[in-house]
């Protein structure tokens, strides 16, 4: 929360992996603060090839809220995030420069305070191997940062993994070396 010349600015940040999630977050904040004069927002949502950027000044002079907020989010190198600032008018007009400064600083402050998590695109991997290779291969799989989603112990061991796409070739080579070429390692999505 910031106060500038008796106007109160309250900033919220939330996840936005797609447009619907971002807009639901904005609606939730709007419902939390129905008396706020302005509920301005900006978000960047979606996968790299389908990213959606959007913003709103919500009645503030054009370009004084949403655009500076979006610039701060972009400048922070963030994605899949929505930022909403509610403003309770304090009776003193801030002018366009004052509004840009207030919205910019409140978003900078909230982004400096949040925990950042790196999002890594993963792929599904099917691994089939003999029982005697299971323990050594499992250690290699874990060392490469793959997550085992399912294990099926039938005629052979079948594992379904999630793995950073950039590490797939290394996983395949490592498991092939560990099993003298007898492990089946293939992408499934």
Q: What is the mean pLDDT of each run of 10 residues along the chain (189 residues)?
A: 85 91 94 92 80 89 92 88 91 86 92 81 90 93 92 93 90 93 89
Would you state the pLDDT for residue 49?
Answer: 61
SS3 call for 53: strand
Would you state the pLDDT for residue 48?
Answer: 61
47: tokens are 């996968």
Q: Any idea of the CA torsion for 16, 21, 23, 26, to the nearest 10 degrees?
A: -70
69: tokens are 């907020």
113: tokens are 């305070």
Q: Any idea of the CA torsion for 61, 64, 6, 81, to the nearest 10 degrees?
A: 130
């Amino acid at each position: 929360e910031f106060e500038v010349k008796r106007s109160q600015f309250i900033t919220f940040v939330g996840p936005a992996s797609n447009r619907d999630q971002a807009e639901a977050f904005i609606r939730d904040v709007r419902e939390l603060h129905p008396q706020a004069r302005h509920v301005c927002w900006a978000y960047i949502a979606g996968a790299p090839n389908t990213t959606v950027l959007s913003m709103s000044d919500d009645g503030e002079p054009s370009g004084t809220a949403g655009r500076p907020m979006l610039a701060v989010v972009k400048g922070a190198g963030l994605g899949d995030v929505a930022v909403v600032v509610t403003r309770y008018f304090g009776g003193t007009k801030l002018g366009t420069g004052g509004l840009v400064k207030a919205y910019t600083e409140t978003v900078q402050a909230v982004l400096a305070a949040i925990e950042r998590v790196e999002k890594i695109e993963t792929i599904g991997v099917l691994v089939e191997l003999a029982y005697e290779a299971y323990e050594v291969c499992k250690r290699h799989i874990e060392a490469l940062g793959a997550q085992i989603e399912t294990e099926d112990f039938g005629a052979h061991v079948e594992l379904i993994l999630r793995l950073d796409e950039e590490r797939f070739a290394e996983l395949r080579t490592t498991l092939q070396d560990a099993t003298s070429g007898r492990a089946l390692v293939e992408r499934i999505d």
